[in-house]
Amino acid sequence: MAQPSHIFIVGIPRSGTSVLRNILNCSESIAICGETHFLGSPKTGPRLLKYVVNHPAKVADRGTLPPWKKPANPGSRQAFARVSDISTDTGAEKVVDYIYNNHPTFWGWVAEHVDRQEFLCRLMESDRTDRSLFDLLMAFYADASGKPIRGEKTPDHIHHVPTLLGWFPNAKIVHMFRDPRAVFVSHRGKNFKRQNISSRHRIFRQSPLAYEAYLSIDIAIHWLRIAQLHHQYQQLYPNSYYLCKFEDLVSDPGAHLKRICDFLGIDFVETMLKLSFQNSSLIPRHQVQGFDAAAADRWRKHLHPVTNKWFVWWSKKHLLEFGYQL
């Protein structure tokens, strides 16, 4: 199978996308940069609406909608558009200045590792589209390590697979998937410790019970929509889209990494199995380790039985479909 031009790792947050990115970057051929949040993400309401009406994924059309009709939390793409229009010389300079002065998300990597004038010249020489700006960051990241296959990892780009494959027809998508209850436990633990969270999360967090309800509903809706998108992408892009369950990866990493490498058309290397990382948010940060099969079910010790029943009520059909125990 031919190697892809780009590799995009997507999925619900806290599903192992960072782990897979670090593993694939062990390859001598692949350089996948961190989260750019370039395309934004749908809000909870539109996710539920699309799930209920089984709306096909038409995120590629979102760029033509007026701002007040865009059902998304804005990403870097929208932030840059508010700064200026990169199709003009003055606009391109303003956007580059914004990137170098503000370091938005992973775009800060460019400001720290690439000469500003070189970035501006490369942007000026491109066709000045959102696609070329996005590709430029990935190109710089890959060039820094001398690797031919570039890529990016933003979980919420699962909602933008049609856009990604429209922009990069020879790309491949790897979708990391995980039991929504494990995702919930991981998110809850992380958000109770974080200071930098949205005002909505901060308000609900004042009451553990209210926050448990709010977060569980948000994750259940998000997970159901992503499960639905999986079936759509599987049919639309059989040669460009691959699903990998987090539980399978940590339980039998050798077998599943070889399958991913076969899908990507790259060589599997043993260093992929020896990588040290923290594959569970439920263990102390200093306990860095490799693949741990127990990470697949560790969340069960931290989930209240009522919350478990709540998730089963929302998603029993899909839980069974993907082989998850109730």
Distance of CA 209 to the CA centre of its chain: 28
pLDDT at 203: 65
Tens of pLDDT, residues 108-159: 999 999 999 999 999 999 999 999 999 999 999 999 999 999 999 999 999 9
Q: Is the pLDDT of residue 200 over 90?
A: no
Tens of pLDDT, residues 6-45: 999 999 999 999 999 999 999 999 999 999 999 988 765 5
Q: How far is CA 263 from CA 7, 171, 172, 260, 266, in A?
A: 11, 12, 9, 5, 8
pLDDT at 309: 94
Tens of pLDDT, residues 206-249: 666 777 888 899 899 999 999 999 999 999 999 999 999 999 99
Q: Where are the domain boundaries for CATH 3.40.50.300 in the chain?
A: 6-29+41-74+148-321
pLDDT at 41: 84
Q: What angle do CA 206, 48, 130 make, to 5 degrees?
A: 95
Mean pLDDT value across residues 85-92 = 96
pLDDT at 83: 96
Radius of gyration from C-alpha coordinates of the chain: 20
pTM: 0.88
pLDDT at 22: 94
For the ranges 74-78, 204-208, 264-268, which has the lowest average pLDDT?
204-208
Written as one letter, the residue type at 229 is L
- β-strand pairing of 6-11 with 149-153: parallel
Of the two residues 286 and 172, the one the predictor is more confident about is: 172
Instruction: State whether residue 241 is helix, strand or coil.
Output: strand
- C-alpha 230/C-alpha 242 separation (Å) is 9
Query: If DSSP states are collapsed to H, E and C, what string results for 277-304?
Result: ECCCCCCCCCCCECCCHHHHCHHHHHCC
pLDDT band at 67 (very low <50, low <70, confident <90, very high): very low
The CATH number of the structural domain formed by 6-29+41-74+148-321 is 3.40.50.300
Closest Cα partner for 148 from 267, 271, 276, 38?
267
